[in-house]
Every structure is written in C-alpha cells, then in structure tokens.
Amino acid sequence: MSEQISGKVNAGGFFLLLEDGEHRRFLLLRHANRWDLPKGHCEPDESFLDAAIRELQEETGIRREMIALDPDFMFELSYTVQYRAQTPQTSQKVVRYFLAYLRKKPQITLTEHLSAHWMEWNPSKQIQTETIDSVISAVASHLESR
C-alpha cells in the first residue's frame, strides 16, 4: 500500500556559524529526541528567507541585525514527514537553509527547545543523517570554494 501525501509544507532555516578567533562552531538546538537547526514553517505569502529570519528570532532570540547573511549559499532539502494530529497526515516538506555568520557568541533565549549547543566545526562528524549531515556537507563544500 502506498503512502498518501496530503500536502506540501515549506520551511526556512539557518545554519549559523560562529567564527571567533581560530574556532569555528555552529548552532544546534535540542528537541526531546533529536538535534535540529533553527527553522520553521513559512507563513502564507512568506518567503523561505523571511521565515528563516522570523524563526531564528522566535527560537533563539537572535535578531537579523546580529547575523551576516552569506548571499551565495542556499541549500534545499525535501522529504516526507508525518505530523501527529487527530488524523495523522503525511506531507512533503521542503526546507531551504541559509548560511549566516556571527563574530560574537550571542545570548540564546530558547522558546521551543530543551537546549542549545555550539558544536565544534567538524564536517566529517555525523549528527543526523537525514537532514543535518547533508546541510553540513553543503556548507563545507561552500566554505572550501570561497
């Protein structure tokens, strides 16, 4: 029996790199059972980038003026997700990730996650095969090409 896809969900997110001196780290947010990058669903008529900026501030307290957006990077993932509701639905989710830099470690204000962690930059380390690892790989390729 094939799975029915009931809709499409768009989301925008950020891969945040903290570059302070010789160290490079990136931000991970902790859900109860997994790590995630700051991201969230696009509101009606909202662009992927606008959603990413809004969600970044909502989830971490980091405002747009605190980051330096990399205009040459965008990475898109598409995968199926099952949302738990009264009637479970399977949707096709499209997430566009943007790359942004921070020079100074900001104060994180969590609203939707259990914790936040600045992970040492190590592109070969596996974190979450289905999503995060492919974003890390794309960021690593982008940084090498600069």
Among the listed ranges 29-33, 71-75, 80-84, 131-135, which one has the minimum average pLDDT value? 80-84
DSSP state of 63: -
In sequence order, the β-bridge partners of residue 74 are 98
d(CA 146, CA 142): 7
Q: How far is CA 23 from the centre of its chain?
A: 21
Give the tens place of pLDDT for each residue, 88-135: 778 899 999 999 999 999 999 999 899 999 999 999 999 998 889 999
Provide the CB-side half-sphere exposure for 112 (13 A, CA).
Answer: 15
Domain 9-145 = CATH 3.90.79.10: yes
Compute the distance between CA of residue 94 and CA of residue 10 in angstroms, rounded to an integer.
5
**Residue 13 in this model has a pLDDT that exceeds 80:** yes
- What Rg do the C-alpha atoms of the chain give, in angstroms? 16
Structural domain boundaries in the chain: 9-145
Buried/exposed 53-85: b ≥16 CB within 10 Å, e otherwise: bbbbbebbebeeebbeebeebbbebeeeeeeee
Strands (E), the chain: 7-20, 23-30, 35-36, 39-41, 68-83, 89-102, 115-120
By percentage, how much of the chain surpasses pLDDT 90?
74
Taking the model in full, what pTM does it have?
0.90
- pLDDT for res 1: 36
Query: What is the maximal distance between C-alpha atoms in the chain?
Result: 54
